[in-house]
Every structure is written in C-alpha cells, then in structure tokens.
Amino acid sequence: MTTDLTNPIFTDEEAARKHFEAIRWPDGPICPFCGLVDDAVELKGQSTRPGLYKCHGCQKPFTATIGTVYERSHIPLHKWLLATHLMAASKKGMSAHQLWRMLGFGSYRTAWFMAHRIREGMAPLKGAAGPLGGEGKYVEADTTYVGGKEKNKHRNKRTEGNIGGKGKQIVHTLVERGGHAVSNHIANVSGKTLRPIVMKQVSRKSTLMTDTAGGYMAMGKEFARHEMVDHGAGEYVRGDAHSNTVESYFATFKRGIVGTYHNVSEAHLKRYLAEFDFRYNERMALGVSDAARAEKAIKGVAGKRLTYRPADKVANT
C-alpha cells in the first residue's frame, strides 16, 4: 500500500483529525488526565473547536494531540500528516527545504521544526525494543564517520591534524541480519564506550560480527560466537563472517546525510540516526508498506518528551 497523496487526510482538517484519532485511540478516546478509556463525550457547539472531548470521569476537556509532539502547535494536523508521510517514504530523508516546498505551507523554519518533531515520533520509546539477535542469529557491529571533510574546506579554514576520523562524528550501528538496526552517536571506539552499547542491545546467544577494532576483543568472548574480519588487511568476507549488512545500512545513511542533509550538526545527529533506523526497521523487505510506516511514525508522536524550544537555532540542520 503506497501513500495516496490525494487522500483527504492531507488536505482536510476534519479528515486529518479523524485519521489521527483512529491511530491514537483505536479503542475510543483516552483521557490524558485520568486515563479513562472510551468514556468521554465530544463537545459540540459554535464556540467549541472540533475534536474537543470531555471526560466523564474527571470532567476535564481534552483533544487527541495532548501529550504528543503536535501539542500546542499552530500547524494544521493535515500538514503534520502530509509531512510525516513524505519523510516516512523517502529512503534518503527529506531536507527541510524540500519539505517546505512540498507542504506549500509556512516557512523554512516551520518545516525545519516539523521535521525534527517528526523524527521524535520515529525514535523508539525507551526500553520498547528488545535486544537484537538471539540463538542462531547474526548481529553485525561497525562504525562510520560523518562530518565536514577537511580536504573540501578552504585552506585557511582547515584545522591542523583534522583529517580522517578527527573532527568528525562517530556513528556506531548494530544490525541483525534480516532484522533491525540500532545506531548510536559515540565519542570514541574504545572498549569502554562500545561495551555498554553492545552488551545492552545484543543477545549473548548471537554470533557477533565485527572488524578487528580492539574494543570488541574482550566482549566478543561473552557471545555464542564472535568473528572478526580484518578490513585493514583487505579481508571482507570469510564464509559467513562479513559485515555487508551494516555496510549497506551505512551506504543508505551516508547518501542521506551527505546528499539530502548536506551533513548535520553534532547536536542533532542523534535525531537523524533515529530517522534512518526507523525507516530501516520498518522497511518494505520486512513487509512494512509506506502507509503502514507513516502510521507508525504518527502513532509514535505520543509519549515523547518535547525538547524543542523556539530559541533552538534554525541554521543547524
């Protein structure tokens, strides 16, 4: 099921609200104050805005957007839905400029804020995902570097020694073959940094596939099996030992970060990682359609902490 952009949910506010309520409240309205399910009345009247409910338990009024990243937004719901569908369906992401043009609404700044809030909806809830791998399963771990290439900068703007990994951001990704990915922005590749990430997110019953980075050596012994491929020595595949899955993840991620977003600031990298992990984990190959993926992103806007203030810098995409 692909996204039908002529669907009224993308143009009509009432249709958009009904769609959002159906996703948010599959069993009827839930009062955000006392938690009562399906025991509220929709208030009607000339001076009442549509979608305002009154709880029969605590008597408080509420709407479906309370407690979501859409709360207190002046952006119409149908624009949120359109933006979410566009971002969810774009494999390499969508720049705020592109989003702004396609929405035909607001300013670049509005589109930028919307994109970041939509990424929050795509981020997993804390503790929601189980560990990767398991018995008979393979989990590949690898790192990649993103950030300004020193050789592309004007000579007098280059920083001494800022070549290769230095001055760049390090991204660490774990991918279960045929399964999900979890990416983290890390400070360095030491065992001390890698250990808590790998130990917390990978089942010990898995076969762990890594390169020969020293940080993996000790922890590798705690897994059912640990294979290392020595990229430095030109070795990439040895039987079932390889990191092709995580390499392929990085290829898409880099095409997005470099091609679509033209690199991202350190402060926001985590949110872009959530976006790329989300699309990978809800991918077509696992049976998730564009429309179903967007629905998950919309469902994800609930229960997320609001972290954006108007004072946040717009220039940092």
| Interaction mask 36-75, Zn ion, x per CB under 5 A | x------------------x-xx-----------------
Tell me whether residue 53 or residue 278 sits nearer to Zn ion (CB atom).
Answer: 53
Give the nearest distance from C-beta 32 to Zn ion in angstroms: 8
| Interaction mask 24-43, Zn ion, x per CB under 5 A | -------x-xx-x-------
Give the nearest distance from C-beta 41 to Zn ion in angstroms: 12
In whole angstroms, how far apart are CA 108 and each of 44, 191, 269?
Answer: 35, 42, 20
Task: Confirm if 215 and 190 have CB atoms less than 8 A apart.
Answer: yes
| Interaction mask 278-317, Zn ion, x per CB under 5 A | ----------------------------------------
Burial class (CB in 10 A: 0-12, 13-18, 19+), 287: exposed
Give the nearest distance from C-beta 296 to Zn ion in angstroms: 27
Q: How many binding residues for Zn ion (CB under 5 A)?
A: 7
Give the nearest distance from C-beta 61 to Zn ion in angstroms: 10
- 66-71: long-range contacts at Cβ-Cβ below 8 A with a sequence spacing of 24 or more? 66/32, 67/32, 67/302, 67/303, 68/24, 68/301, 68/302, 68/303, 68/304, 69/117, 69/118, 69/120, 69/121, 69/301, 69/304, 69/306, 70/117, 70/301, 71/306
Give the nearest distance from C-beta 34 to Zn ion in angstroms: 3
Residues in contact with Zn ion by CB under 5 A are 31, 33-34, 36, 55, 57-58
